[in-house]
Structure formats: C-alpha cells, structure tokens
Amino acid sequence: MTVIAIAVADLHLSLTPPVARSVETDWLEVQGRVVEQLHDLADKHEAPILMAGDVFDRSNAPPELVNWAIRNLPPMIAVPGQHDLPLHRYEDVGKSAYETLVLAGTIQNATDSPWISKKAHVNGFPWGKEPCGLEGRGDYPEGSDIQIALCHRYVWVKGKCYPGAPPDAALGFCRGLLAGYDFAVFGDNHQPFTAKLDVKNDKGKIQCNIVNCGCLIQRKQNERDIKPAAWLLYEDGQIEPHYLDTSKDKWLDPEDEPEQLPLDARLDEFLEQLGVVEMESLDFREAVNRYLTDNKGVDGRTKRILLEAME
C-alpha cells in the first residue's frame, strides 16, 4: 500500500542541548542524526514530510542554527507551533526563524492548502487556529481526494496527557472540528498516540484516522521513555510508526541535574508562564503593551499603573 505522507512534530531545534541532554558533546550532530533519518524515509517512500509545528525551540533561533536548518532539513510541509512564533502570536510569524525557512524554500506552509499528490490534500492549522471542519469536499473529483488536517494543537486521550489536562482538549471534543477529514495530524502533546474518530462529511460519516506525533527529539527526563517516531500515513487509512534510532543518545543522570536552574533559565521559565517568550531581549515595555492590547478586560487604573511604571 502506498505511503502518502510522513508525519512528524515537535522537533524543537536548538543550538545548545537542554539540561537533560547536556552531556552530549555536539548537539547539532545529535539533531543531525534525526534529520538524516527523515531524509532516508522521505527518499525510501517518495513521500512528503508533514511537520505539525515547533520546528524550533525558540522563534528567535540564532543565525547559526537557522543556517544549519536550511542546509540540513529535508523539504517539509508545515505549520508553526507556539515555539515558532514570537510571543506565541501567529500574527508575528514574519518575525520568526520559521518564516526564514519558508522564504528559503525549506518549508512550505500548509496554510496554503497544498496538494501533496493527485489524491491527497493538506489543510494547515497553526498554533492558535482551530481546525475547520470541511462541510463538503469542494470541487475535488469524487472518491479521488484524501483530506488531511495538519494541526499544532494540544489534544489528549486517556493515559496520554499531563495531570489536569483541560477537558475540552480531549480528542473526542474535536469531532466537529475534524468533519470531512480522512487524516488528522497533531503536534504539541509530546506523548504520541493514534486513534480513530467517526466524523461527518457531506455524504454521511467517515472515519478520521488520527496521529498525535509526539516529540521527535527527547529533551527532558520525563520524555526519556518516549520512543520518537515518524508516522507513515497510508492511502488506505492506516498509520504506522517508524521508530527512530536513538541508540547513540546520551543523557545526564537525573541525580546530577541541578536542583535550581541558573538565573537566566529561571527567568526565561518565569516569563514563559506569563507568555513573555521568544524575545531578543527582555523588552518588558513591548510585552506589557502587547498584553494590554490583547486583553481588553484590564481596567483603566491597572493600565495607567503599568504604563507609568515603565516610564
């Protein structure tokens, strides 16, 4: 049976290793081993790679890393995840390293709804944009099109989520959003799973075959037991994992991890919780102004105090 696409997500490219992988002597080489396996898969199956977001770990990736990505990544059809977007805002994608890959031709935006073969068509939904169910199959020839939703959105099933995951992110709540799709590919939740949902199309019901790809590179101790995979999407609706070779990976012993992160890392973590992320510098004025613009519920007195404090 023909492989129509290879689905991956959450690559999180970075110039330096995360704490849990800090014993690696050449982090670009580690990431290169993963990228090389993607090249091999794409060549073997002559199928496009669909990337469901978070190509980079930070939207303002340094030029050295961006240049490395242009030279080494295989061509991909992608949507940006929140880590690809300045301040997690799709409106600012033009300021991102992700957009540089688009301009370089390394990435084709799935938001342009490309055909990936004579039969398969991709509909892209980046971070912050809900999947839009297909009321009908458009003008495509009857029986000849396969509709794929490529999404960066947190979804979960039992046993594949963090404690207290929001109920409205449960996969079952997506049924209406996925109406008309044969496949749905998700990124953001680093715990991989596959599932099936009965969804509606213009002629009744079809089965939507779902893969949440999981992390492509393990970066944290709680991801150590995850088996990174690229997922093969077959023409008949099957989804099969191709597990990557991670036998050369090295990990810091959990007992050797610092109890307290360095100040810069702790500040980054604090700012991320506030949504003040992916910035070239700690530009609090820009962040506060953006917050006040986006949150209409902030009362006038609070706005005045914040603005005066920045003077």
- The pLDDT of residue 141 is 44
User: Do residues 18 and 220 lie in contact, with contact meaning Cβ atoms separated by under 8 Å?
Assistant: yes
Q: What's the CA gap between 133 and 173, in Å, rounded?
A: 13
- The pLDDT of residue 285 is 59
Sole residue written with tokens 């490219």: 13
Q: What's the CA gap between 183 and 239, in Å, rounded?
A: 9
Q: What's the CA gap between 108 and 115, in Å, rounded?
A: 11
- The pLDDT of residue 255 is 77
- The pLDDT of residue 257 is 65
94 backbone dihedrals φ, ψ, rounded to 5°: -65, -15
CB proximity list for 230: less than 8 A, separation 6 or greater: 6, 7, 8, 37, 38, 41, 49, 216, 241, 242, 244
The domains found in the chain, sorted by start residue, are 3-243 (3.60.21.10), 260-309 (no CATH)
Joined tokens for residue 309? 């404090």
Q: What's the CA gap between 183 and 191, in Å, rounded?
A: 18
59 backbone dihedrals φ, ψ, rounded to 5°: -70, -25
Mean pLDDT of successive 10-residue stretches along the chain, which has 311 residues: 95 95 96 98 97 97 97 98 95 97 97 85 94 65 75 96 92 90 96 93 81 97 96 96 97 74 53 50 59 69 63 52
> Three-state DSSP class for 184?
strand
Residue 179 DSSP class: T
- The pLDDT of residue 289 is 65
| One-letter identity of residue 205 | K
User: Do residues 69 and 77 lie in contact, with contact meaning Cβ atoms separated by under 8 Å?
Assistant: no
Distance spanning both ends of the chain, measured CA to CA = 65
Q: What's the CA gap between 177 and 273, in Å, rounded?
A: 28
Which H or E run includes 305? helix 300-309
Sheet strand arrangement including 239-243: 107-109, 76-78, 49-51, 3-8, 229-234, 239-243
DSSP string, 31-95: HHHHHHHHHHHHHHHT-PEEE-S-SBSSTT--HHHHHHHHHHPPPEEE---GGGSGGG-GGGGGG
Angle between helices 27-45 and 63-72 (to 10 degrees): 30
**For residue 12, which of 94, 89, 69, 74 has the smallest C-alpha distance?**
69
